[in-house]
């Protein structure tokens, strides 16, 4: 098997207890990365950590986290440094939707999505990159969305948050490029997870008609792109967005 240079690295995957984050956590755990998964509930985070640890034989920490809170993110970073002494990889994956057309969208639904998806990415990048700067190395991958590139009816808040994540990726990539830290984004299309399971059959069918490859994506497709971006196969690449979307946004 090819050595991707990931053994004993430490990765924080926000929202890593289920969905895409969980698939990313398992993909990295299979490469012997020490994993930290976070989620909104302590018990579920611990349970996910135990499951990943027993399946892959690596150390895994499961922590309660609210990415939209700087204080909560500080606590998470403190716990990781206390246990593992370093952070090599940050995957800004935690995200939410709260759909509705803009004319009737409540301010609280706008704020919730922007605060989690965009401000959460800011909070984690700010606090983790400080540690990476001390180490003079690191890989950050932000999970954006195809919706941040082409928009979607009923998702103005989500599209704005993910377009913001893409701009944030490019700005931070420029800021950190000279310090050994690379920052890239992955923009998934329609991937089957809890987030998409709430969509109606009609929306789901309409979505399929817009995918040139005529199939929904799998969480593993996204995890593979992330694996490439954090591995030693990824060199001289920063500030880029890789679409994993079956050709939806080309
Ligand atoms: P899920 O809803 O399945 O999982 C979201 C995860 O984020 C959960 O673990 C959840 O924690 C966590 N989370 C939510 N809010 C917070 C918060 N405030 N602080 C910390 N963790 C939080 O979503 P997906 O796996 O589908 O999505 C993962 C990412 O991929 C998101 O950023 C999403 O926008 C993006 N994406 C997904 C696509 C898809 O088709 N599925 C397409 C394009 C992008 P808990 O389990 O405790 O609720």
Residues whose beta carbon lies within 6 Å of some atom of ligand 1:
14-15, 17-21, 38-41, 44, 65-68, 93-96, 116, 143, 145, 188, 190-191, 193-196
Q: Does the pLDDT value for residue 98 go beyond 80?
A: yes
Instruction: Tell whether 1 is covered by a domain.
Output: no
Q: Is the pLDDT of residue 100 over 80?
A: yes
- Evaluate if residue 92 carries a pLDDT over 90: yes
In the predicted model, what is the mean pLDDT of residues 2-31?
97
Calculate mean pLDDT across residues 192-217. Answer: 89
Q: pLDDT at position 202, please?
A: 86
Per DSSP, the residues of the chain read: ----S-TT-EEEETTTTSHHHHHHHHHHHTTT-EEEEEES-HHHHHHHHHHHHHHH-S-EEEEE--TT-HHHHHHHHHHHHHHHS---EEEE-------B-GGG--HHHHHHHIIIIIIHHHHHHHHHHHHHHHHT-EEEEEE--THHHH--TTBHHHHHHHHHHHHHHHHHHHHHGGGTEEEEEEEE-SB-SHHHHTS-HHHHHHHHHT-TT-S-B-HHHHHHHHHHHHSTT--S--S-EEEESTTS--
Q: How many domains does the chain have?
A: 1
Nearest-CA residue for ligand 1 atom 10 is 15
Predicted structure pTM score: 0.98
**Which of the four pLDDT bands, split at 50, 70 and 90, describes residue 207?**
confident
User: Ligand 1, residues 195, 243, 245: which to mutate, most atoms within 8 A of Cβ?
Assistant: 195
Judge whether 95 lies within some domain: yes
pLDDT attached to residue 73: 98
In this predicted structure, what is the pLDDT of residue 58? 98
pLDDT of residue 134: 97
Give the Å distance between the CA of 133 and the centre of ligand 1.
Answer: 27
Kindly give the number of the ligand 1 atom that is closest to the alpha carbon of 115: 18
Atom of ligand 1 nearest to the CA of 40: 47
Can you give the pLDDT at residue 12? 99
In a domain, residue 139? The reply is: yes
Active site residues: 158
Confidence of residue 201 (pLDDT cuts 50, 70, 90): confident
The reported pLDDT for the residue numbered 83 is 98
Average pLDDT (152-176) is 98
**49 pLDDT tier (thresholds 50, 70, 90):** very high
Task: For residue 189, say whether it is annotated as part of any ligand binding site.
Answer: no
Residue 65 is part of a domain; what is its CATH number?
3.40.50.720
Write out pLDDT tens, residues 214-226. Answer: 999 999 999 999 9
Binding residue per annotation — 48? Answer: no
Q: Cα(136) to centroid of ligand 1, in Å?
A: 29
Cα of 22 from ligand 1 centre, angstroms: 10
Annotated binding-site residue? 173: no
pLDDT of residue 144: 99
In a domain, 177, yes or no: yes
For ligand 1, atom 12, the nearest C-alpha belongs to: 15
Residue 105's pLDDT band (cuts 50, 70, 90): very high
Tell me, in angstroms, the distance from the centre of ligand 1 to residue 172's CA: 22
User: Which is more confidently placed, 2 or 56?
Assistant: 56
Provide the residue range defining the domain that includes 130: 10-243
Q: Which atom of ligand 1 is nearest to the CA of 68?
A: 18
The predicted structure's pLDDT at residue 2: 86
| Residue 4: inside a domain | no
Asked whether the predicted pLDDT for residue 47 surpasses 90, the reply is yes
Among 50, 49, 53, smallest CA distance to 65 is for 49
Does 225 map to a domain?
yes
pLDDT band at 178 (very low <50, low <70, confident <90, very high): very high
Nearest CA to ligand 1 atom 11: 39
102 lies in some domain: yes
Residue 248 within a domain: no
């Amino acid at each position: 098997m090819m050595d991707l240079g990931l053994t004993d690295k430490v990765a924080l995957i926000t929202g890593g207890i289920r969905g895409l984050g969980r698939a990313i956590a398992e993909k990295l755990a299979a490469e012997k990365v020490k994993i930290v998964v976070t989620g909104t509930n302590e018990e579920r985070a611990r349970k996910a950590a135990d499951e990943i640890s027993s399946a892959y034989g690596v150390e895994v920490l499961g922590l309660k986290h609210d990415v939209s809170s700087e204080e909560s993110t500080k606590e998470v970073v403190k716990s990781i440094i206390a246990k593992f002494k370093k952070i090599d990889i940050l995957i800004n994956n935690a995200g939410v939707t709260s759909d509705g057309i803009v004319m009737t969208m409540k301010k609280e639904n706008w704020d919730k999505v922007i605060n989690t998806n965009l401000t959460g990415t800011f909070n984690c990048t700010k606090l983790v990159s400080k540690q990476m700067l001390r180490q003079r190395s690191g890989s950050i991958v932000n999970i954006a969305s195809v919706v941040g590139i082409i928009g979607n009816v009923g998702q103005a808040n989500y599209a704005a948050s993910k377009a913001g994540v893409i701009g944030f990726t490019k700005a931070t990539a420029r800021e950190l490029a000279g310090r050994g830290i690379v920052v890239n984004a992955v923009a998934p299309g329609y991937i089957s997870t809890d987030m998409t399971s709430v969509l109606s059959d009609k929306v789901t069918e309409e979505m399929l008609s817009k995918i040139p490859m005529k199939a929904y994506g799998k969480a593993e497709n996204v995890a593979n792109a992330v694996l490439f971006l954090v591995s030693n196969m990824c060199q001289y690449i920063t500030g880029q967005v890789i679409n994993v979307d079956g050709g939806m946004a080309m």
